[in-house]
Chains A and B, each alone.
Chain A
Amino acid sequence: MAALTKKTALRIYETMIRIRRFEVRAIELFQAGELPGFLHACIGQEAVAAGVCAHLGDADQITSTHRGHGHMVAKGLKYEGMFAELYARSTGYCKGKGGSMHIADQDLGVLGANGIVGGGIPIAAGAALGIQLQGRKDVVVSFFGDGASNEGAFHEGINIAALWRLPVVFVCENNGFAESTPRSNHQTVRDIADRAKAYGIPGVAVDGMDPAAVFEVAGEAITRARKGQGPSLIEARTMRFLGHYVGDPGTAYGHDREVVKWKKRDPIPAFGKFLEKRKWIGPKKEDELRDRIERELDKAIDFARKSPEPGPQDAMTDIYASI
C-alpha cells in the first residue's frame, strides 16, 4: 500500500478544515435566519470524506446523502456554488431548486446529495455500470449512513454491484445514530462491514476519525475497483458532533452524552498534531491555510448574498429536456 505522502497528507488536512469551516459558517448563517430549509451538518465526520476523496479525480463519481456538504467539498465543489445553493440563488449548483439536501455537479462527478435515505446506493451501482460499459477506468463511491444500511436499496444495490463486479466502493459512515435512533435500536449486526459477506465482497471496518487509516483502506478498495475486481464495503466508524439537523440538541436520545468522548478524538487537531510531529506543517503555514480558507468563505458568502434569486420565470424550467 502506498504510504501517505506529505503532499497527500496536507491535502487531506486542508480538505478537513475546508469542510469544517464550511459547516461552521453555514450553521452561523442558518441560525441568523439567512438560509431557508434545514441543514444536516457533518462536523466530526470530515476524515471520512477527506480520506476517501483524496483518491478521486474529477471523472470519478460519488453519490451522497442529506449530510452531504463534506463529500461535496472533498470532491472539489466550489464554495461559491455551494453557498449560493444554500441561499437559494440562481448561481447555486442547482439554481436554487435543490438546496442543501440536493447539491450536485455532474462536471465534478457529484451525482447528488439525496433526500431519500439509501437512495444513492443503487444509483452508484448504475453509474459504475455505465463506466464499465464505456470501458473507463473511473470509479464510483457511494456515501451513506448506518441508518441507510437498513434500507432495501442498500442490499439490492450492493448485490447488483457484486454480481456484475462493478467499479464501486460503498462507504458507510457509521456515526452510531440514525436520526434519533441509536444503532443498538436499529440493527443487530455488530459490524456493518460484515454485511459484505452476504454479497461475497470484501468488507472492512476502519477508524473514521483517522484520515490516514481511511485513506489507506479506501485506497485498497478503489484500486480493486479500478482494476475491475469489483466492489467493496467500507464501514468508517465516526460521529457527528452535532444533532441530526441544525437545531436538534441531541439531548432526547443520548447523543449529547455519547458525543463527549468522540470530541476528544476530533480528527482535525489530531491530524494537525500528526503533521506537526513530522514537521510537515508549522504554526505559520497553518495560519496561512486557515486565513486563506476564511477569505474564500467570506468571498463565497458575499457572492451568494449578492446573487439573484430565481424568479417565477424559472418555475417551469428544467423539468423535461424537451416537451
Chain B
Amino acid sequence: MREILYRDAIIEALDEEMRRDESVFLLGEDIAEFGGSYKTTVGLFEKYGKERVRNTPISEQGIVGATLGAALMGMRPVAELMYIDFTGVAMDQIVNQVAKVRYMFGGKAKTALVLRTQGGAGRSSAAQHAQSLEAWFVHVPGLKVVMPSTAHDAKGLLKSAVRDDDPVMFIEHKLLYLEKGPVPEEDYTIPLGVAEVKREGRDITIVATSSMVGKSLAAADELEAEGISCEVVDPRTLFPLDRETILNSVKKTGRCLITHEAVQRCGWGAEIAATLAREAFDYLDAPIERVCGMETPVPFAPKLESHVIPDKDDVIAGVRAVISGL
C-alpha cells in the first residue's frame, strides 16, 4: 500500500468530503493560500476557492460561533483552530453553545460540524502552544472527541467526523504531521467509537492515545525481547468510547497501563482506570498504572520538555513496574 504523511491524509479527507458534499466548507486562520500553519489544507483553496476555503480573522470565538451558526443552517463546516491552546479563547462557544444547542432545543437543532485542532509538545513551543487538553472536551456532554494516531486513522476518522451529525473535536498532534503511514487509495471511513488493537499481546494491555501510540508500540517491541508481550489498544475516539475492546483486552491480559501526553491529574486515563476498576475488577492481577505528562505547564527548554512529556522509556518502565508488581 502507498504511504503518505499524516498531514496529507488530513488534506485528502477534507478534499474528498468537499468534493462529495457541497455543504462542507472550511474556515480558519491562514488556511487559504498559506495552506494552514501546519500545512493541513494545502491545495484546497486553489481547488475550491475562497467561498469554501475561508481565511478568518484572528477571532477564535467568532470562528467557532460562525461554525455553529452555519451548521444550524444545514451546512457542514469544518473549522481549524490553529492550536488546541487557543480553544481557551473560544471556550464559551464550544462548551456553552456548540455542545449544548441540540439538547437545550429538544434535539431539533442541526449541529453537524467539526472543530479541527492540534496539540502536543515536542517542539519547544512552551506553555501556550504545546498542551494536551482533550480531557476538557471529553468532559462536556454533547461533544465527540477524536484523536487519531496514524495517517490511516486520521483520514478515515476525519471523513466520518465530517459526515457525523454531532459536533466533533478532532484533535491532531503536531509531531505526527510528518509521520508516514499506509493509506489505501480507495474511499474508506473509520466509524467513530471503534478502538483498534494496534498490536496483540498476552501479558499487559497498554491503552494509548495520539503520540503515545507510536511510543507504546516501540516500547512493546523492546519488551518483547525481554519476554514481555504487550497488547496496544488505541481508542482513537475518546468519546464515544469503545469500552468493549479495552475491557476485552484487559480481561485477556489481566494488567493495564494507560498512557497519554496530557497531565495525569483528571486526565482521560482516569476515566479508563475507573471504568476498569469497576468492570474488570475480577480480572486484574495488578494495580492499573498510568504514564502521563507531569503536572506542570509545558516548559520551553528542550531537556525539561522531554523530561515532563512521557516517552518510550517511561512506558517501558511503567510496564516493568506493573509486571513485576513493584
Contact = CB atoms under 8 A, between A and B. Distances in A.
Interface of A: 36-38, 88-89, 94, 96-99, 101-102, 114-118, 147-148, 150-153, 178-181, 185-187, 252-253, 309-312, 314-316, 319
Interface of B: 29-30, 33-35, 37, 55-62, 85-86, 88-89, 123-129, 294-297, 299-304, 307-308
Given A102-B127, A151-B89, A253-B34, A88 B301 contact: yes
Contact of A97 (B33, B35, B85, B301): B301
A36 B30 contact: no
7 contacts: A114-B128, A115-B126, A116-B128, A148-B58, A152-B62, A179-B58, A252-B34
Given A152-B61, A179-B30, A312-B307, A102 B296 contact: no
A37 B124 contact: yes
A180 B124 contact: no
B131 to A, nearest CB: 11
A185 B31 CA distance: 12
A315 B126 contact: no
Contacts of B55: 181, 185-186
A220 to B, nearest CB: 29
A272 to B, nearest CB: 35
B233 to A, nearest CB: 29
B125 A37 contact: yes
Contacts of A309: 301, 303
Given A147-B58, A309-B301, 15 more contacts: A97-B300, A98-B300, A99-B124, A99-B126, A101-B129, A116-B128, A151-B60, A152-B89, A178-B29, A179-B37, A181-B34, A252-B34, A253-B33, A311-B304, A315-B307
A178 B34 contact: no
Contacts of A88: 124, 300-304
Contacts of A314: 304
B301 A310 contact: yes
A37 B123 contact: yes
Contacts of A114: 128
Given A97-B299, A179-B37, A315-B299, A116 B57 contact: no
Contacts of B62: 150, 152
A36 B123 CA distance: 8
A118 B89 CA distance: 10
A310 B304 CA distance: 7
B125 A186 contact: no
A314 B304 CA distance: 8
Nearest to A115: B128
Closest 10 CB pairs of A and B: A99-B300, A115-B128, A180-B34, A150-B57, A88-B301, A37-B124, A36-B124, A96-B301, A186-B57, A147-B58
Residue from the set A37, A101, A147 with the largest chain B CB neighbour count within 10 Å: A37
Nearest to A85: B300
Given A38-B125, A115-B127, A315-B299, A97 B59 contact: no
Nearest to B123: A37
Contacts of A89: 301
A316 B294 contact: yes
A36 B129 contact: no
A185 B53 CA distance: 13
Given A180-B34, A253-B34, A310 B127 contact: no
A115 B126 CA distance: 9
B3 to A, nearest CB: 26
Contacts of B300: 36-37, 88, 94, 96-99, 102
B253 to A, nearest CB: 32
A38 B37 CA distance: 13
Contacts of B308: 315
A117 B37 CA distance: 15
A33 to B, nearest CB: 12
Nearest to B92: A152
A101 B85 CA distance: 14
Contact of B296 (A150, A153, A178, A315): A315
